[in-house]
A and B are shown apart, each in its own frame.
Chain A
């Protein structure tokens, strides 16, 4: 993974980041919001974007990369699927079939956990408690909470196109 030296963030993204600046007393606090904005648009945050964000915020790229790497949330090598499905594996979901749900979904879509389908449509990721244990087992697919899932229903749900995550 090396930076290509191309500018990848757009002026619109930069303007959106800049619009948040008055909320914070320094620009480092904009790192996480900026990462979210870029990831929302590019479905990943490649190293070039890290360099761009650092330039916009006036920070060393290493500081941005340091923060990014902590969260394991922003893919860098390649984009996640157009639908990013977080399948809960924590206790309340596990007690109601969460682990089986994850396994069957990965099998049905022919990918491993954290993998993306070859057409780039779907990424399936194990997740910790989604805060929706009243609907266990559950999945967060982009902005949609899929509740009380069975493997059968979930397989079809995850084939549907969805609005982008906000």
Chain B
């Protein structure tokens, strides 16, 4: 079942752990926030991630990648979650790379090496409203000359504010189609949105944005198959990131319970608090299993992985949230301060919860 890591996976986990703790600890996202950085991530870090091979974790060797699979991508994301490391990993190396790889066409050969090298950032534009809902895409691509004209709007395009290219999902007569669109295309209006977790997304408005047939990713009308796997890859990797964040915030809380004194006792002595932590421990263990299962299922057969991915994203949606809320509460007044990192975890977990479907969305998917 892949619930135990292989030696290779353990090595990757260790090197990712060391790398992110060293190069992108929580202080980095805090500094990016406080400096009001225009991109919201460190380009230096992104290039170093490329040197480490992380940017190409899902890219095949032919295109300069390492083809290590979804489990590996999840292990990297878990460490990013622990440290709240911000980078275009999800948007470029997971979502875009998976889409390009599945399409496997000329565009893939051109763009994938640039993702691996860290030279280019790509984002996925799927949602249009306030909630994740890939079944409600209204953006249209209507035939025009040799190509199409795109019309509509997109919301929560993660990293869309600084991406070079975006993969846009639109309706054509025959169904969903994916297009690769440069962000400087005429008729495309991009508004950066700064989110509660100090990371960035974009709202995009397309007004008669012209694309050629060459910009179609995969086949016209067959975008749904690719999209499904792309989204599941993103969801599983996000769940892994949330696992990392939740585990870290849990650890911080557990440490605090061994330090803080009230009523002449260490507060960890109060059984009421012990039980809260013990319960959370149990939940986190189940959360970990669900993430490992989803990543394994994706590696085995992406087409049948959907329910496992939804289970993981739903489970982490509730468990990571609980871990963050408990952390604030059990730190008392300290938990409300910006000085501690807990708030940053609470905020990131809230955003990750919402991205690509919250627990309700995924419960509905499984119920279907």
Q: Are A and B co-members of a single complex?
A: no
Which residues of A are interface residues toward B (Cβ below 8 A)? Answer: none
